[in-house]
Amino acid sequence: MIEVSNVVKDYGSLRAVDHISFTVNEGEIVGFLGPNGAGKSTTLKMLTDYLSPTSGTITINGKDMKTDSLKIREWIGYLPEHNPLYEDMTPYDYLRFVADIRNISDKVFNQRIVEVIDECGIKEVINQQIGTLSKGYRQRVGLAQAILHDPKVIVMDEPTTGLDPNQILEIRDVIRRLGEKKTVILSSHIMQEVQAVCDRIIIINKGKIIADDKKEVLQSQLAGKTVLSLELMADTPNFYDFRMIDPTLTIFNESNLKGNIWEVVLEYSNKVDLREKIAHFIAEKGWLILGMQKQERSLEKIFHELTKDGYVAPVVDDKTQYIPQDIPAETMEDTNE
Ligand code: ATP
């Protein structure tokens, strides 16, 4: 439904978005995740036609943003990062004003306002001055503005930033409910945020997409692994054979510490506990276990590692599936087992 193809955005000499391509299908809730300055807002502004790409194309339902901008804007609702509201208006007056700008007839407005008040939970403040509302209610009013014209796609830039924990949970609920009927694209720099509401996560860093997949796939690729460090005493070992123990098991690293002392790091699905099998296997081989330490990978730490300075984004293929090759050891959390 939404197709972004090879899009670049330069601000003068700064390349904020660097050849990104992705598609979003109808009904998906997609989260753009990246650190500050990654290019999330710039991408969302281009998706909503607030900014034009320097190069590349964006189409929605087969229509090109360059040539069918007005039509496309009818399909999109946008909640920008700094939710601009008129402080001296009430939510009702503000939504009436938005309806006029969008050429919504009185008849449609009278019907939509009832639905929107309900969907965004703003009944009790509908006639209260916006300037006196809590930040949570202000976000709800911003969301009401974004969905008033009943768009197919809702784009939200950091929708929970600055909210307290209760307000965050409430807004997430509203977003989830909206996502049942609409395509939702939101941005965040917080891993838990996108994990909580999105089906699919696109990780962006320094203007490039470095991962794009369903949440569960990313979770299992990036975090759903147990890492077992072994210190072994073995003469002329062939550690390759460890792979016969389980189809999910791979050898992450092996190194000779000195003489016949080895360190071997195995990695396998965290859905199985292979320690007993591994211990038996080692005994059968006649090797000796000097140490065994189990670690879990933390998704958040890996995200931090992927997006911190110095990290070079891998090339992402057409299916934009990123398979981590060499996650540094400090991204693992010790479970002290
Ligand atoms: P944040 O979470 O901090 O909003 P972001 O991921 O949304 O970050 P962008 O706001 O898209 O990132 O910014 C990407 C880069 O482009 C940053 O280096 C930013 O400083 C720069 N940038 C953004 N807007 C402009 C602009 N109007 N003029 C010049 N540079 C800009």
Query: pLDDT (tens digit, 9 = 90+) per residue, 43-65?
Result: 999 999 999 999 999 999 999 99
Q: Give the pair of three-digit tokens for residue 239.
A: 């550690």
Closest CA to 159 of 188, 123, 197: 188
pLDDT at 310: 45
Which H or E run includes 252?
A: strand 250-258
Measured from the Cα of 189, ligand 1's closest atom is 2
User: Could you tell me the pLDDT band of residue 300, with boundaries at 50, 70 and 90?
Assistant: low
Beta bridge partners of 185: 30, 155
The architecture that CATH gives domain 225-295 is 2-Layer Sandwich (3.30)
Closest CA to 293 of 271, 314, 315, 264: 264
Q: Is the CB of 33 under 6 A from ligand 1?
A: no
Yes or no: say if 295 and 336 are a contact pair by the CB < 8 Å rule: no
Q: Is the CB of 314 under 6 A from ligand 1?
A: no
pLDDT tens digit sequence for 144-163: 999 999 999 999 999 988 88
- Of 9, 10, 11, the residue with max ligand 1 atoms within 8 A of its CB, to mutate for a pocket test, comes to 11
Q: Give the pair of three-digit tokens for residue 111.
A: 């019907």
pLDDT tens digit sequence for 88-123: 999 999 999 999 999 999 999 999 999 999 989 999
Strands 183-188 and 200-205: unpaired
pTM over 0.95: no
Q: Give the pair of three-digit tokens for residue 310.
A: 């110095």
pLDDT at 317: 35
Closest CA to 113 of 130, 132, 91: 91
For 319, other C-beta atoms within 10 Å of its C-beta total 8
Domain 2-220 has CATH 3.40.50.300: yes
Q: Is the CB of 91 under 6 A from ligand 1?
A: no
- Residue ranges per domain, the chain? 2-220, 225-295
Q: What 3-state DSSP class applies to 261?
A: strand
Helix-strand-coil percent breakdown of the chain, rounded to 5?
A: 35, 30, 35
Q: Is the CB of 14 under 6 A from ligand 1?
A: yes
Q: 36 alpha carbon to ligand 1 midpoint, in Å?
A: 8
Handedness of CA 42, 44, 46, 49 (dihedral sign): negative
CA distance 146 to 151: 8
Q: Is the CB of 40 under 6 A from ligand 1?
A: yes
Q: 14 alpha carbon to ligand 1 midpoint, in Å?
A: 10
> Which range has the worst mean pLDDT, 101-110, 139-148, 292-301?
292-301
Does residue 68 have a pLDDT over 80?
Answer: yes
Alpha carbon nearest to ligand 1 atom 10, residue: 41
Q: 70 alpha carbon to ligand 1 midpoint, in Å?
A: 25
